[in-house]
Amino acid sequence: MIFYLGMATVPREPSTAQECDKAAPSDKKTRVVEPRAGLWLCTRTDDDALALVEIRTVTFDPRSSGFQADLWLTLWR
């Protein structure tokens, strides 16, 4: 499964696939999102399934100058 770079932030966890579908971008445009704990993202996969991504924790790794995040994923087909 490959995620497109376009993701839409949502203010709370969508309770249905339809809510995530309304929020997920359909144009596949690149959007940079700063990772932070508690952030909800809706996106489409390469199979045009819907994915809800919750960022649970984020830490900065000084060795790689990057972020490490724990994610939870819900996938709807």
* Residues contacting residue 70 through CB under 8 Å, at least 6 positions apart: 55, 56, 57, 58
Per-residue pLDDT, 2: 45
The contacts of residue 10 (CB under 8 Å, 6+ apart) are 19, 20, 23, 40, 41, 42
- Quote the CA–CA distance of 50 and 32 in Å, as a whole number: 19
Per residue in 16-71, pLDDT (tens digit) is: 888 888 888 776 666 666 778 888 888 887 777 888 888 899 888 888 888 788 88
Confidence of residue 4 (pLDDT cuts 50, 70, 90): very low
